[in-house]
Structure 1
Amino acid sequence: MQQNNGLDKSQMISFAVLCLVLFGFMFYFQNKQSKEEQAKAQQQKTEQVKNAVKPTQASNINPNVTPGAIQTASLGNNELKIEFSSLGGQVSKVELAKYKAYDHKTDNADLPLYLITKNNSNYGFQFKDKTGKVINTKDLVFTPSVNGNTVTMTANYNGAVIQFVYTLLEKYTLDFKVRTQGLAKITSDNKADFIWDYSVRNLEKGRAQEQSHSEFSYAFNNYKDYDYDGRTTMDEEKETLNWIGVKQQFFASVIEAKNGFTQSKGNQENIEEGEYLKKLNYEGFVQMTGSELNQDFTWYFMPLDLPLLKSYDKNFDEILPLGWSFIGWMNRGFFIPIYNFISSWGLTAGWAIFVLTILVKLILSPIMYKQHKLSAMMRVIRPEIDEVNAKLKDADPMKKQQATMEVYRKAGVNQMAGCLPALVQIPIFYALFRFFPNFIDLRGKGFWFAKDLTAYDDLIKLPFKVPFLGGPPEYFCSCLYHCHSHLHDYDFR
């Protein structure tokens, strides 16, 4: 019987090539992102100074308004609890009632989940009066009135009446109408500048991962086209946006303009520590008719749940980053339906993933069988190859290669066939890589030592940062763990 002496030279080379492909594939985008961020950092700062939307702290919006003069009004249903501030007439607090936020102090997801609170979001419409003075509705004090599920905010400015009418609807939806009367007497503008400053709150266990998932999302071309921007200065001067949103890992705040936003631009900046992850600032124009601002909008404060997103028919399902092209199709058409089917048996999330893993392994078993068969055939012909190498030790390299290939040909072995099974598996594993951290049904679900299946496992926590790595030390340890576990998916005997 042929004794197995472990990995031979060719197998070690194959193993090294596979590792290079896998790790190169994973780190390519990370390195590319890092270089782009460094290249764009100075440009973003320059743009912010010149003409970008400048974030304004709510406490400094109107220094003439005393805290006691600010009133609030509230609306709520089974999904949302919303509070409105009379300063700026805007949404000042949004709580998603069915979800909880992660508490880093207690290591539990037991905090109320606020998308908006503590002035992390403020927005308004800006225009100029006939003297050239800039007027922003953020600076105005509105008077609130509540009637059923509707809050009406009313402000007066030099005889002009500005009303914001908010109506809370089902499915995480807040209707938002802007109505003015007499505005044409104080302005000649034919469009208003909508400015939205938003700081993303840290809601999840994995800070670095949630930060990387926080970005602009928007649709245009009558909802048919979708785009996003997570790293650079946003610039859509030529497109009319149907909606603009700030996407987080599992939630999104989106505003839809019935007549669209034009000349859109924005910028974003990471926040390295604390309660917030990223600061995003957006600016776009809305049309005024006869110098009156009468436009309809809709706010959506929603979880990124695929059936829910599809139900709006606004192309919101593109917000969910399940992968491009074939990868996304695989997740939407196979992995999510299969996972839902398995979990319908009453299994917990961890066991459902376990069964899904077994199913994937069964599907890949023909490919794995060919790989194992090739490995066995290589071990059989190894003595012949060693003999050829010994005989032709001092021969021309081309002649030695031809002799080696003749051995392979007689044995019916195709060396390239050893790489193909691994290459076939890469899209499948990459689809799963996109699926697990973005599937909201797994959010906060634990299994054995893992408290959250969508976050990195804190196997070891070090009291210092690991140099040259973009994440915290627990992220590094988790990466080692996952790399080790995935290497066991392959048999290199």
Structure 2
Amino acid sequence: MEEKKLDTNSIIGFALIFGIMIYMFWQNQPTPEEIEAQEKAKQEQIEAEQKAKADKQTLVTTPEDFTVGKGADSLQMVQLKNKLGAFAYAAANAADEETTIETDVFQLKFKNKGGFLSEVKLKQFVDYDSVPIYIIKDQNAAFNINFGTTDSRILNTQDLYFTPSVSKNGDNTIVSMKLKVSESKFLEYRYELKPDDYMIDFSIKSQGLNDVINSSQSINLDWNLKVTVMLKVFLMKIDIPIYIMSMMAEMQIILVLGTLKKR
């Protein structure tokens, strides 16, 4: 039987085919930039999937979730519990009312919804038309704390109803606004007003909320204030209004130079 042998041409052919395959493999492998782009796209896809999963699990509440009247019945309480979790306790007797406090220099109104100042009037001053001067009025101020809960909700204090109480600390007036999850667990805004002082002491504290507020998520505080202050200047004996606009962090202040006079 004749023994089969590979001739020189066959060997050269196999070598060429093998060389072409190696060259094609080398040519088609991705560049470092392409590898980096692929890794980035893969990571972005993973993050997008994780975010979509988290968004599906997290309940974001809106102001409409809190519009209930006093004395909610058992069915309403179940609905509130489903929407607000532990903070359904505060919404059960929600009332969109205001608490009015007066000192020697201020007349102030505190709104139950949001727990913040809704109106601040200067008692001892008027503008050049003898019109009362308001530092806060007509929703020119907003104060909000945004936080997550342990039952995967995102809440905003500006949408929740606080319970007001007023007390005395010597001559000072204490206004306490509490956002309650029970009588012993709450978030409190505390305002202390001195009789003849334009400074208001404000503090925030919580009690017993370790199992309610998710400490692993960021807590965001947002304060916006737009104030118009009336003053008077004279330039070359002509009463000329001057307009100055200043932006400072979250506070926008517009100074309009006109007349400010004491009562």
Normalized against structure 2, the TM-score is what?
Answer: 0.52
Quick check: 2:110–2:119 contact (8 Å CA) kept in 1? Answer: yes
Q: Does 1:80 align with 2:111?
A: no
Quick check: 1:129–1:188 contact (8 Å CA) kept in 2? Answer: yes
How far off its partner does 1:99 sit? 1.8
Local SS of the residue matching 1:69: coil
Q: What residue number does 2:247 align with?
A: 215
Query: For 1:53-68, what aligned pairs fall within 5 Å after superposition?
Result: 61-62=63-64, 64-65=66-67
Choose between structure 1 and 2: higher strand proportion.
2
| Corresponding residue to 2:202 among 176, 199, 218 | 176
Quick check: 1:155–1:162 contact (8 Å CA) kept in 2? Answer: yes
The whole-number CA distance in structure 2 between the counterparts of 1:118 and 1:91 is: 11
Quick check: 2:226–2:254 contact (8 Å CA) kept in 1? Answer: no
Choose between structure 1 and 2: higher helix proportion.
1
How far off its partner does 1:196 sit? 1.6
Local SS of the residue matching 1:249: strand
Q: What residue number does 1:129 align with?
A: 149
1:195 maps to a residue whose letter is: D
The whole-number CA distance in structure 1 between the counterparts of 2:187 and 2:210 is: 12
- Residue by residue, what CA displacement relative to the aligned partner does 1:369-425 show, whole Å, maximum 9, x if unpaired? xxxxxxxxxxxxxxxxxxxxxxxxxxxxxxxxxxxxxxxxxxxxxxxxxxxxxxxxx
The whole-number CA distance in structure 2 between the counterparts of 1:131 and 1:76 is: 40
2:114 maps to a residue whose letter is: G
Quick check: 1:109–1:444 contact (8 Å CA) kept in 2? Answer: no
How far off its partner does 1:125 sit? 1.4
Quick check: 2:230–2:259 contact (8 Å CA) kept in 1? Answer: no
Gap regions ≥5 residues in structure 2: 1-61, 70-93, 233-238
With a CA cutoff of 8 Å and minimum separation of 6, indicate the structure with the bigger relative contact order: 2
Local SS of the residue matching 1:138: helix
1:209 maps to a residue whose letter is: I
- Structure 1's 132 and 63: CA in aligned 2 closer, same or farther, altered over 3 A? closer
Quick check: 1:75–1:168 contact (8 Å CA) kept in 2? Answer: no
Quick check: 2:229–2:255 contact (8 Å CA) kept in 1? Answer: no
Normalized against structure 1, the TM-score is what?
Answer: 0.29
Local SS of the residue matching 2:191: strand
Query: For 1:333-412, what aligned pairs fall within 5 Å after superposition?
Result: none
- Structure 1's 61 and 109: CA in aligned 2 closer, same or farther, altered over 3 A? farther
How far off its partner does 1:178 sit? 1.4
- Structure 1's 162 and 209: CA in aligned 2 closer, same or farther, altered over 3 A? same
Q: Sequence identity, in percent?
A: 22
Local SS of the residue matching 1:147: strand
Q: Does 1:187 align with 2:187?
A: no
- Residue by residue, what CA displacement relative to the aligned partner does 1:218-247 show, whole Å, maximum 9, x if unpaired? xxxxxxxxxxxxxxxx5xxxxxxxxx7544
2:259 maps to a residue whose letter is: R
Aligned CA-pair RMSD: 3.4
2:159 maps to a residue whose letter is: D
Quick check: 2:226–2:251 contact (8 Å CA) kept in 1? Answer: no
The whole-number CA distance in structure 2 between the counterparts of 1:444 and 1:161 is: 42
Quick check: 2:148–2:155 contact (8 Å CA) kept in 1? Answer: yes
Q: What residue number does 2:255 align with?
A: 249
Runs of 4+ in 1 over 3 A off after TM superposition: 60-64, 157-160, 199-210, 244-248, 442-445
Local SS of the residue matching 1:114: strand
How far off its partner does 1:444 sit? 4.5
How far off its partner does 1:201 sit? 4.4
2:156 maps to a residue whose letter is: N
- Residue by residue, what CA displacement relative to the aligned partner does 1:45-74 show, whole Å, maximum 9, x if unpaired? xxxxxxxxxxxxxxx845633699212212
How far off its partner does 1:168 sit? 0.5
Q: What residue number does 2:223 align with?
A: 196
- Residue by residue, what CA displacement relative to the aligned partner does 1:283-317 show, whole Å, maximum 9, x if unpaired? xxxxxxxxxxxxxxxxxxxxxxxxxxxxxxxxxxx
Gap regions ≥5 residues in structure 1: 1-59, 102-107, 217-233, 235-243, 251-436, 446-493
- Structure 1's 200 and 150: CA in aligned 2 closer, same or farther, altered over 3 A? same
The whole-number CA distance in structure 1 between the counterparts of 2:98 and 2:246 is: 29
The whole-number CA distance in structure 1 between the counterparts of 2:67 and 2:193 is: 28
The whole-number CA distance in structure 1 between the counterparts of 2:151 and 2:242 is: 48
